[in-house]
Amino acid sequence: MCGLVGIFGGKGDPTERQEIVRRMAGTLVHRGPDGEGYEFTEGCDFGFRRLAIIDVAADSPPYANEDRSIWSMANAEIYNSAEIVPMLEAKGHHLRTHVDTEVIPHLYEEFGVDLVDHLNGMFAFCV
């Protein structure tokens, strides 16, 4: 089971917030021993611990859309991701991995909060 952490709308020193997020993610290493990922943006700092099941060699989340304006991370198994990918590619999206959860930021870009109507699986995610 993967682990997600983050600070939304944090104030104060960005370096301190980044260190807090890294420490928070460190407490979840038992949930995601296969990798870690971080993204620090204006207004949102988040981290991820990955339990790799699909595309084990892929980089750890968070995953972004092409212009890096939308980010997501998830503890999920998206059963129908193989069906979603061709639809996204037909709309001009380019996914970097074969990880099932990489579809989430692209679906959000296309459908907003209605993206969940396109998912079949078990999931908890943030965008």
Percent of the chain with pLDDT over 90: 74
For 106, the domain range is: 3-126
CATH label of the domain that carries residue 68: 3.60.20.10
Higher pLDDT, 52 or 24: 24
Q: Can 2 be counted among the known catalytic residues?
A: yes
CA 76 to CA 1: how far, in whole Å? Answer: 8
pLDDT tens, position by position, 90-122: 999 999 999 999 999 999 999 999 999 999 999
pLDDT tens, position by position, 35-74: 899 999 888 999 999 988 888 888 878 899 999 999 998 9
DSSP letter assigned to residue 52: -
Residue-level pLDDT at 122: 95
Q: Which of 1, 2, 88, 124 is catalytic?
A: 2
Mean pLDDT score, 19-25:
96
CA 13 to CA 6: how far, in whole Å? Answer: 15
The domain tally of the chain equals: 1
